[in-house]
Structures are given as C-alpha cells and as structure tokens.
Amino acid sequence: LVRRVAEESLVVPDFASFCTEIDQLYAELLTDTRGAVADYIPQLARVDPDQFAIAVCTVDGQRHVVGDASSKFCVQSVSKAVSYCLALEEHGPDVVHQHIGREPSGVSFNSLTLNKSGRPHNPMINAGAIMSCSLIKPKDNLADRFDHVSDTWKRLAGGRPVGFHNSVYLSERDTADRNFALGYSMREQHAFPAGTDLVQTLEFYFQSCSVELDAEMMAIAAATFADGGICPLTGDKVFNTQTVQHCLSLMSSCGMYDFSGEFAFTIGLPAKSGVSGALMVVVPGLMGICVWSPRLGNTVRGIEFCRKLVERYNVHPH
C-alpha cells in the first residue's frame, strides 16, 4: 500500500471521496427498516435488527468501515463460498462437480429439491454446501476440520482471529429438520462420496455457518476474492486463481438464492448472502465489500446499497 501511495498507483486514487459517498449511502439506508430478522433459528431471532455496518477493502488494502464496526456476526451462508473453495482446492472441479451441479436452482436456499441426477443444483444453496462440507478433509476428525475452516477465514480476513457463536450453532442444530431431510435425501440418491458420515457432515456444516467475523474482516475476505485469492493485507495466497474464478462465477449466477437472476441483472457483481444479514460482494480486480444488516429477505439494506453503488459507480461489469 505504501509503495502504491508513493507511486500514485492506487486502484481507487481518491479513496477519501469514495468513503464520503459510502458514508452518505449508509446515512440514506439507515432509515430503511423494511424486512425482519431470520426467526427460524431462535438464536438469530434475538439479534438487534437495527444493527448496520458497511465495510470496504480495496485490492491494495485501503479500508473504510461505517456503522457497527466492532459487532461480530455469524457468516451463515457466506460460508458456502468458502466451503466450495476448500472442496475445490482439495479435489479440483471435476471431482467436486461429480457431487454438486453448477446451475442456478431458481428456488429458495433450503428447498427440498435436487437436480435430475439427484445432486444439489449448486454449491451456494444448503444442499450444495452440505455436499461441499462432506468433501473437506473427510478423513480428519471434526475438530481438525473445523480448525481448517476457521484458519482459512482467518487467512482470508488478513490474519485476524475469527470467532464462533456457540449458541447459534446449538440452536441451528436443534432446529435443522430441513437440512437433515436434505442430507438423507442426498444419501438416498448416493450423492455423497463413499464413506461419508452424514451426521458429522451436517454438524460440520452448522459449525461452518456459525463462524463469526466483523464487517471489516468480511470486506478483507471479499477483497482477497477480488484479488484472485491473495489477501491484500498479508500477501498470503489463500486460494488458487482458478478456485476463485469458479467460485465467483457461481456467486454471480447462484449466490443470492432465488434472487440471483435479478441481482445479476441489476447489479452484476458476484455476491453471497447469509441469513445473519451478511452480504459479501466482490468487485473483481478492485475491492471487496461487506454490508451487514440483519433485516431480511436477502439483507434489504445490503441489496439497496448495491443498487445505489452501481448507480453511482461504473462497477456493473457488463
């Protein structure tokens, strides 16, 4: 970053004005109280719905956060992007996609549907993420597998330690009939790799959803995706370029569940949402963004932020 400042080659040269715009968008969106917190996981229903943070990190490490910067939240379904990358890094796309499709499903994230081959439609919905989890270090014990996931988040987020929300995890596990049903349905179709322990896989999936970060950490992780897998703060190559390409493609087509087509049409950026209200947005080659606001159908303020961003800046890639 210091070198880029000296050479006057920053990717966002007038970062201060950009930050002022972000602060203005934040103020505009603060009054938008549409939507409600997710209540199908009791512990998530208790989250203060008015919390709101926006964080950005450029691929050369310039950062800005506005709002509830120090609050931590669960990554929830944003974990699906990371789990998919970990499965790809371990097995490559050919093996991974023997178990998971790569077409949008057009239905809600937890829908009890599989594709014609009895496989999840894609890795960005529950069935697909459960399948990705089954592919991550399957021979290791659960503790080591979880360390692998949380260590990856830490590396993506610039080396900052990540948290874990135990009560959300326990609460999710106790109310997970739908995910168990998906797991058993996939097992019935012989969709899992041989030797998969289904209950352990589901535990691992719930735990991966309960990893906790703050908005700045998620923006740094998004910037790592924006820079082809290299963390802008540490230079750590967390994922291969090809892994990131595959993940961003599927985030673009499937990352917003049954809103993915509309999001791709209007915003055009790879993104992944979670029921905690987290939204990770990648502007490839430029920056990562996190918007966190717990009021949902995908986070209302998150979507509105993206709409306003593409109105003001030429970041829609098409």
Q: Which of 66, 77, 84, 260 is catalytic?
A: 77
Residue 56 is a binding residue for ligand DON (CB under 6 A):
no
| 110 belongs to an annotated ligand binding site | no
Tell which one of 58, 77, 132, 171 touches ligand DON (CB under 6 A): 77
Strands 278-283, 287-292: pairing kind: antiparallel
Residue 302 is a binding residue for ligand DON (CB under 6 A):
no
What is the rounded distance in angstroms from the CA atom of residue 224 to the CA atom of residue 169?
A: 26
Tell which one of 53, 127, 135, 275 touches ligand DON (CB under 6 A): 275
Residue 186 is a binding residue for ligand DON (CB under 6 A):
no
Structure tokens, 154: 């830490």
Tell which one of 51, 71, 110, 113 touches ligand DON (CB under 6 A): 110
What character string, x for contact with ligand DON (CB under 6 A) and - otherwise, covers 80-109? -----------------------------x
Of 15 and 180, the one with the shorter C-beta distance to ligand DON is 180
Residue 146 is a binding residue for ligand DON (CB under 6 A):
no
Q: Which of 56, 80, 208, 276 is catalytic?
A: 80
Structure tokens, 148: 């692998």
Residue 172 is a binding residue for ligand DON (CB under 6 A):
yes
Under a CB-based contact definition with an 8 Å cutoff, are residues 64 and 55 in contact? yes
Choices 19-27, 196-204, 247-255, 270-278; region in contact with ligand DON by CB under 6 A: 270-278
Q: Which of 47, 65, 211, 275 is catalytic?
A: 275
What's the closest the beta carbon of residue 172 comes to ligand DON, in angstroms?
5
Q: Which H/E stretch holds residue 214? A: strand 211-214
Tell which one of 273, 279, 288, 290 touches ligand DON (CB under 6 A): 273
Q: Which residues of 195-207 are buried (b: 16+ CB within 10 A; e: fewer)?
A: ebeeeebbbbbbb
- CA torsion sign for 23, 20, 281, 167 is negative
- 205 a catalytic residue: yes
Q: Which residues of 108-135 are buried (b: 16+ CB within 10 A; e: fewer)?
A: ebbbeebbeeebbbbbbbbbbbbbbbbb
Under a CB-based contact definition with an 8 Å cutoff, are residues 53 and 61 in contact? no
- Coil/strand/helix, residue 212: strand
Where in 146-197 does DSSP place strands (E)? 163-164
- 249 a catalytic residue: no
Per CB under 6 A, residues contacting ligand DON are: 76-77, 109-110, 126, 172, 179, 209, 273-275
Q: Which residues are catalytic?
A: 77, 80, 205, 257, 275
